[in-house]
Amino acid sequence: MNVMMLYDAIGEISDEFIQEAEEAQSKRRKYWWQGLVAACFIVAIMALPVSAELINGYVSNLLAPLYGSAQTDLVDKIGVPIEANVTVGDYTLSADAIIGDRYSFAIVYSLKRADGKPLPEGLYFESYYNSLTGDFGGGVCEHILSEDRTTLKIVQKWTSSTELLLNRNATIEFLNLMHDNGDDSKTTVAKGTWRLKFVVRYENSAKVIPVDNVTVKDGNGVEYHIEKVELSPVGIHFDITVHNPHQNSVINEPIYQGFTLSVVLEDNTEIKVENWNLGTHGDLDSSTLVADFGAMFDVPISMEEVDALRICNTFMKLP
């Protein structure tokens, strides 16, 4: 049984032993040592997440409150943090929802005044930190003011070239609320750090698309051998083998910039994927490298509406 399976089992084990302990106390059983063994077993199991938490940040949703984090419910495959909010000065920040797949996620936050008054246009946070993001990937943070101007929606998107680790205790920080004055100047509206802690939990809705010897060529003549495709409503991931431009040469300009991708819907609407990242790894002396392509859609796309992918100039119809 791995660590995560053990975490999931803690609730059931604890409930069972607690019930037995209560029955033992009410009936005053003679064999009191059995309850003691059970209690020690519970203590031993409960101690395991502590060391794991210190090492890598994992925490079960059940135990999140013990570490000062909010639990996260699942509603229609979307993670909904429970009471994950913090107030600094006159402004309250809340984590509202999390969606994603194995490689991408988006977290939606809301910022409101504590007194409910409207917010001015041009508000934004000076900087932010998310413990889930790493060195292999890229993302954006968007600020959108609601029509009634009472809520600033903040959407944080991240796409990783490696698999994301779910059921992870995240620490999110936003620093200094600023106002863009529109004349290349800015004003500090509220100084401080808005810190949230909650379990990142959502249902991976991606599916693997069968591919067989799909090789595409971009406008610069670079070939990409597509070996695996994972598609979800929020994003797409490719495993690729690509020519190694570093072999016997020095690279002085961006590479793989000719790669393009569009999602083609059943009504022939073509959605160009603009924001993506492609990372490579392998022996720089070899002729090929292994590449990971990842992209998150600007808005979720219904899987039922996707008919094909246009990879560079190659049309690939989905089964």
Q: How far apart are CA 175 and CA 44, in angstroms?
A: 39
102-166-298-279 Cα dihedral, nearest 10 degrees: -50
Average confidence score pLDDT of the chain: 78
> pLDDT category, 279, cuts 50, 70, 90?
confident
Q: Which of 44, 151, 42, 131 is nearest to 91 (CA)?
A: 151
pTM: 0.70
Give the pLDDT of residue 219. Answer: 85
- Asked whether the predicted pLDDT for residue 139 surpasses 50, the reply is yes
- Count of C-beta atoms within a 10 Å radius of residue 198: 25
> pLDDT category, 272, cuts 50, 70, 90?
very high
Once rounded to an integer, what is the mean pLDDT over residues 39-67?
Answer: 47
Once rounded to an integer, what is the mean pLDDT over residues 296-311?
Answer: 91
Asked which of 126-135, 236-245, 248-257, 305-314 is least confident by mean pLDDT, the reply is: 248-257
Give the torsion sign (CA, 54, 60, 62, 68): positive
Contact 59, 168 (CB under 8 A): yes
242 CB contacts (<8 Å, ≥6 apart)?
222, 223, 224, 225, 256, 280, 288, 289, 291
pLDDT per position as a tens digit, 54-85: 334 445 666 566 556 777 777 777 888 888 99
- Asked whether the predicted pLDDT for residue 52 surpasses 70, the reply is no
pLDDT per position as a tens digit, 158-170: 888 788 876 578 8
Which has more confidence, 90 or 32?
A: 90
Q: How far apart are CA 208 and CA 237, in angstroms?
A: 9
Asked which of 32-41, 184-193, 207-216 is least confident by mean pLDDT, the reply is: 32-41
Give the pLDDT of residue 36. Answer: 40
Q: How far apart are CA 108 and CA 23, in angstroms?
A: 46
Give the pLDDT of residue 283. Answer: 78
Asked which of 10-14, 201-205, 310-314 is least confident by mean pLDDT, the reply is: 10-14
193 CB contacts (<8 Å, ≥6 apart)?
88, 173, 174, 175
Once rounded to an integer, what is the mean pLDDT over residues 161-181?
Answer: 86
Give the pLDDT of residue 247. Answer: 64
Q: How far apart are CA 88 and CA 70, in angstroms?
A: 18
Structure tokens at 248: 């016997």
- Asked whether the predicted pLDDT for residue 29 surpasses 80, the reply is no
Q: Which of 105, 302, 303, 123 is nearest to 209 (CA)?
A: 303
- Count of C-beta atoms within a 10 Å radius of residue 264: 19
For residue 199, count CB atoms less than 10 angstroms from its CB and return exposed for 0-12, middle for 13-18, buried for 19 or more.
Answer: buried
* Maximum distance among all Cα pairs of the chain, rounded to whole angstroms: 82
Q: How far apart are CA 68 and CA 169, in angstroms?
A: 10
Share in percent of the chain as helix, strand, coil (round to 5): 20, 45, 35
> pLDDT category, 271, cuts 50, 70, 90?
very high
Q: How far apart are CA 289 and CA 292, in angstroms?
A: 10
The percentage of residues in the chain with a pLDDT greater than 90, rounded to a whole number, is 39
212 CB contacts (<8 Å, ≥6 apart)?
none
